Amino acid sequence: MDPNETRRYHIKTFGCQMNAYESGRVAALLEKHNFTPAESAESADIILLNTCSVRQKAADKIYSELGRLKKLKLTNPRLLIGVGGCLAQHESDKLLKQFSCIDLIYGTQALARLPALVRAATQGKRVLDVEPDAARTMYARLPRSVIVRGQTGAFVSIMQGCNNYCTYCIVPYVRGPEWSRTPEDVLNEARQLIDAGVREITLLGQNVNSYGKTLSPPIAFNALLHRLNKLAGLERLRFITSHPRDLSDGLIDCFAKLDKLCEHIHLPLQSGSDRILLAMNRSYTGGQYIRLIEKLRAARPDISITSDIIVGFPGETERDFESTREAIARIRFDDLFIFHYTDRAGTRACSLPDKIAYSTRVQRLKELNTLQRTISRQRNELLVGTSQAVLFETPSSRSGACLAGRTRSNKVVNCPAQHSMLGRTARVLIHKAGIHSLSGTLLHEQENL
Ligand code: SF4
């Protein structure tokens, strides 16, 4: 890149919070190298797609977006198109073969190398870098994400990769083996974000509960939480995602002891059938999962618990499905993300026999969604009449002078309030509960919530 030339970038992000976080850090890196944000893809000099390969649907969307960009490049031959993230890591050859419009492919561990890669692509070379980050310093070499005015929350990735090899999941193949950032590196990024005005930090990792095991000396995830909880200026601390197998008593205890740690956990169950959990290589039984829920609720009775479920895993019988339905009815999650199983090439589940018919998978998904919608509404109705601390984040999509914010338990609350309340926390009296959100009226802004 010519350091004196200002060029415009556009990043389109697919998939999970980890991708959103990494796009933010890539944007900051590009801005350090004289790029400015473009108003749209059409007005950009470089377009980066940050891709996801967890589900076929996401991959299909990316291929169709590339079809659109191919046409855009015909009208602007100087446009550079880069593809990064999980799909780029997993299907680089196919992407390069199918789309001559792609100038650059960068893998999940190549982010800090992007300036040099973009420079090479600018010189007319077709660039491919899906190499690992051997020194494990990728995040430390990226500038912190740009924080826009009024932004209350930010993500901080604390680890990369996964060693669990759940049989349906492509992540260990595209993100590589698990490694953790040092606590100093994590704390440093958190401090920078707080100094820039962030009030709430969500720690990210494919399996945050095994944070620190690869460090020398090792450190437990709960010890990192204790250190973050002491940061002045931080109001709320969250984390995603947890694997039930690694949910330690020390971590559960954090929910009872740490005032900034919000009372919400996302703990994927995936199935209520022990037979299917074994076939998924999840390393716990339904009974062990329920005992974890009991411990969490004992440590923090008002904790909200959300989860992921996959229906129609290969070999799932009516009896297995019934076990999942029973588990959901017994646990009563606050919310659930339910998916029907789809094959991902390269995973072990892909070659399993006894695939479940599409119509059965969809039917099972619908049944569980109906059950969970009733439970979610009932769980939310328990909050009607209570006063909740709400951190206001955005103007609400509802009509009227409304803002939207979240409770500590991660429930969305719509509330009539002035725009000046954005970025502030106030107590809200909840008077109405829906399936996915609550409504209330402002009580008062409080210093000590
Ligand atoms: S824990 Fe399992 S589902 Fe989660 S990223 Fe690792 S392999 Fe995938």
Please write the tens of the pLDDT for every residue from 437-447. Answer: 999 999 976 54
What's this model's pTM, rounded to 2 decimal places?
Answer: 0.92
Question: Exposed, middle or buried by CB within 10 Å (0-12, 13-18, 19+), for 290?
Answer: middle
Q: Shortest CA distance to 112 belongs to which of 52, 188, 193, 32?
A: 32
Give the count of beta carbons closer than 10 Å to the beta carbon of residue 416: 14
What average pLDDT does the segment 130-157 reach? 89
What average pLDDT does the segment 302-322 reach? 98
CA atoms of 326 and 330, how far apart (whole Å): 6
Atom of ligand 1 nearest to the CA of 169: 8
Cβ distance 226 to 176 under 8 Å? no
Q: Please indicate whether residue 50 or residue 57 has the higher confidence score (pLDDT).
A: 50
Q: What residues does 389 pair with on adjacent strands?
A: 427
pLDDT given for residue 135 in this prediction: 82
What average pLDDT does the segment 329-345 reach? 96
Confidence of residue 148 (pLDDT cuts 50, 70, 90): confident
* Any atom of ligand 1 within 6 Å of the Cβ of 236: no
Residues 6+ apart with CB under 8 A from 371: 325, 328, 329
pLDDT at 4 over 80: no
Please write the tens of the pLDDT for every residue from 161-207. Answer: 999 999 999 999 988 899 999 999 999 999 999 999 999 999 999 99
Atom of ligand 1 nearest to the CA of 165: 7
Cβ distance 262 to 237 under 8 Å? yes
Percent of the chain with pLDDT over 90: 86
What average pLDDT does the segment 97-119 reach? 95
Flag the least confident range among 128-137, 155-164, 270-279. Answer: 128-137
The beta strand positions in 4-118, using DSSP E, are 7-13, 35-37, 46-51, 80-84, 104-106
Quick one: CA dihedral 409, 412, 417, 423, positive or negative?
Answer: positive
Closest C-alpha to ligand 1, atom 2: 166
Atom of ligand 1 nearest to the CA of 162: 6
What angle do the packed helices 114-122 and 17-32 form, to 10 degrees? 60
pLDDT at 1 over 60: no
pLDDT given for residue 447 in this prediction: 44
DSSP 230: T
pLDDT given for residue 401 in this prediction: 61
What average pLDDT does the segment 148-156 reach? 89
Closest C-alpha to ligand 1, atom 8: 169
pLDDT given for residue 448 in this prediction: 46
pLDDT given for residue 317 in this prediction: 98
pLDDT at 316 over 50: yes
pLDDT at 120 over 60: yes
Question: Exposed, middle or buried by CB within 10 Å (0-12, 13-18, 19+), for 272?
Answer: buried
* Any atom of ligand 1 within 6 Å of the Cβ of 375: no
**Which amino acid is residue 81, in one-letter code?**
I
- Report the residue among 54, 166, 344 best suited for mutation to probe ligand 1: largest number of ligand atoms under 8 A from its CB: 166
What average pLDDT does the segment 337-342 reach? 96
Confidence of residue 2 (pLDDT cuts 50, 70, 90): low
pLDDT at 102 over 60: yes
* Any atom of ligand 1 within 6 Å of the Cβ of 171: yes
What average pLDDT does the segment 280-299 reach? 97
pLDDT at 36 over 80: yes
| Domains delineated in the chain | 7-129 (3.40.50.2300), 139-381 (3.80.30.20), 387-445 (2.40.50.140)
